[in-house]
Amino acid sequence: MVKNVVFDIGNVLAGFAWQEFYQSFGFSEEVYEKLTKATVKSEFWNELDRGALDDDELLAGFIQNDPSIEKEIREVFQNVEKMIVRYDYAIPWIKELKNREYGVYVISNFSHKAYEDCRKALDFLKEIDGGILSFQERLIKPDPEIYQLLLKRYKLKAEECVFIDDTAKNVEAAVKEGMKGIVFHTLAQVKKELEEILAG
């Protein structure tokens, strides 16, 4: 019997809108591609979420990936507030589940900078029962330890949890730890699958 719903944050409870954010600066297509390759598509990005390096070290790493766009990299990472977009359905959904006496938690690969700059978009965090943010623990999904840490910290049983994430490998890792899992494609699809599991 499922008693707890565990959410990812990015593209589940809030939008990770890095493409739109980068495009908002009006860079040329060439600069946009370079920026993408040097940052979000680089190995350094995982270290951002892991919290293994401070903001200055990460910025230096991104610049080292492509020194030709140092100015643009600095401009983008001065404030990333608009990289995370608030989903209006997040708080009502969490409250509805809590009213039905389900525990609500998060496990998310999230950076310290995004956490600090994007507080407005993360207002739903005050509604949840607890969670694991990768930068705080120096662990990232799909590492088994991040799921085990949530279970241990909040004294949860894996078989009583359902995990929702937009990335299949992260859901598969949760299932290997004994949780049920749903890959997020659309809100309607997830709500339907979740209700089927909760009714089971």
For 34-69, how does the pLDDT look when each residue is reduced to its tens digit (9 = 90+)?
A: 999 999 999 888 888 888 888 888 899 999 999 999
Q: Which two tokens stand for residue 147?
A: 């799921």
**pLDDT higher than threshold 90 for residue 75:** yes
pTM: 0.93
- Is 153's pLDDT higher than 90? yes
Residue spans of alpha helices (H) in 77-162 = 90-99, 112-117, 134-137, 144-153
Query: Alpha-carbon dihedral of residues 33, 34, 36, 42, nearest 10 degrees?
Result: 140
What was the pLDDT predicted at 50?
87
Rounded percentage of the chain residues whose pLDDT exceeds 70: 100
| Strands 4-7 and 130-133, bridge-based pairing | unpaired
Closest C-alpha to 96, from 195, 200, 199: 195
Whole-number pLDDT of residue 143: 96
What pLDDT is recorded for position 58? 87
* Distances 83 to 25, 53, 145 between C-alpha atoms, Å: 12, 20, 27
DSSP three-state, residue 28: coil
Least confident of 54-58, 155-159, 177-181: 54-58
Cα-flanking dihedrals φ and ψ of residue 86, to 5°? -65, 130
- Sequence-distant (6+) residues with CB within 8 A of 168 are 183
Provide the 3-class DSSP secondary structure of residue 61: helix
What is the pLDDT at residue 51?
85
pLDDT value for 106: 98
**Band of the pLDDT at 107, cuts 50, 70, 90?**
very high
Give me 121's structure tokens.
Answer: 């978009």
Alpha carbon distances (Å) from 87 to 5, 8, 19, 176, 196: 18, 13, 17, 29, 23
